[in-house]
Structure 1
Amino acid sequence: MVETFLYLTLGTNDLARAARFYDAALAPLGLVRRATEADEVGYAHPDDRRARLWVTLPFDGAPATVGNGSMPAFTASSRQAVDAFHAAAIAHGGTDEGAPGLRPYGPGFYAAYVRDPDGNKLSAVHHDPSDQP
């Protein structure tokens, strides 16, 4: 496996709320919580030995804020996984930023966009140029 990044961190102001949201929203994408600490939770694919996404209370103690223009995009195994990610995110306190559907970023680029309860923007994408309606 080629590692393209070590990990990604998103801030939260309510770790328990964020953990409930991410547990539900990331499950359809095959990601599970791998670590639970007093100030952070970490997520990864079950076969990955380390957490790649961390949701954390800010180290400096100041309130977490949203990064303008920041958006992690998660790989989805199917259009149905994108749909399930979006539905779970909304059901667990997220807000819609773009319902599941094809996007103009290339043939078969199927994505959904949400914001977590802290306002961080997330996307799930299934990109298969042969997967046309």
Structure 2
Amino acid sequence: MLLYTTVGTNDLVRAGRFYDTVLLPLGYARQKEATGEIGYAADGDVRCRFWVVEPFNREPATFGNGVTIALVAPNRAAVDAFHAAALAAGGTDEGAPGLRPFHASFYAAFVRDHDGNKLAAVCEKPE
């Protein structure tokens, strides 16, 4: 359903270091970089699905209250690694890895990046 998503940043270099580290356990890597933006994709994907950008209107980047971007994790170990990588890279814990009440196999972790954007890694496979 979604073509791509973006998160805003006020420091693209710092955000790039954060996302290079945090997205790796989920199988995503930096694929494109241009002035004001960095694009991430899974190996073999023909298009970047996740972008970190400086706001087009040149106003400061802010996060959306109530907005969470959930990324698919291949397994629960990847969720754990995502959470650990985010905290080690200076992110903020918003929910440690674990099962959530949404359904019996919904295993997730939640973090915020340096700009306050909320991310989740989710594995819905029973393990």
Give the alignment partner of residue 47 of structure 2, picking from 22, 46, 50: 50
Which residue number in structure 2 is paired with residue 30 of structure 1? Answer: 27
Residue pairs, 1:56-95, within 5 angstroms: 56-95=53-92
1:18 Cα deviation from its structure 2 partner:
0.4
- In the alignment, the residues of structure 1 paired with residue 15 and residue 109 of structure 2 have an alpha-carbon distance, to the nearest angstrom, of 19
Q: Secondary structure at the match of 1:48?
A: coil
Q: Does 1:108 align with 2:114?
A: no
In structure 2, stretches of 5+ residues that fail to align are none
Identity fraction in percent: 59
Task: Name the TM-score, length of structure 2 as normaliser.
Answer: 0.97
Which residue number in structure 2 is paired with residue 15 of structure 1? Answer: 12
Task: Name the TM-score, length of structure 1 as normaliser.
Answer: 0.93
1:10 Cα deviation from its structure 2 partner:
0.6
Q: Secondary structure at the match of 2:94?
A: strand
In structure 1, stretches of 5+ residues that fail to align are none
| Pairs aligned (count) | 127
